[in-house]
């Protein structure tokens, strides 16, 4: 089953324990490989973006595509 980028925008992003980190606001792909290169995630208001191990600007964090474990109803991270 194919998944299109627009279908997952706004979906929850969860860490490896299943805790919600925030919601997906943008996604970038490597045009040569078709793999996800980066996710932009709006961090939940209860979290401090600067405390996360990712680059951030305000409450938005940049998560490398290598941290994505799987995409289902939510985007699951391996970290």
For the structural domain made of 5-77, what CATH number should be given? 2.30.30.240
d(CA 14, CA 79): 9
pLDDT at 7: 82
Q: Would you kindly state where each structural domain of the chain is located, as residue ranges?
A: 5-77
- pTM score, whole prediction: 0.88
Express each pLDDT in 60-76 by its tens digit: 999 999 999 999 889 99
What tokens does 50 get?
Answer: 């600067």
pLDDT tens column, 14-51: 999 999 999 999 999 999 998 999 999 999 999 999 99
- Give 3 or 64, the one with higher predicted confidence: 64
């Amino acid at each position: 089953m194919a998944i299109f980028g627009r279908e997952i925008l706004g979906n929850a992003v969860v860490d490896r324990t299943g805790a919600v980190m925030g919601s997906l606001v943008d996604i970038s792909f490597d045009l040569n490989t078709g793999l996800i290169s980066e996710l932009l995630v709006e961090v939940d208001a209860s979290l401090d973006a600067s405390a996360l191990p990712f680059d951030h600007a305000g409450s938005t964090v940049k998560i490398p595509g290598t941290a994505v474990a799987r995409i289902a109803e939510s985007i699951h991270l391996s970290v």
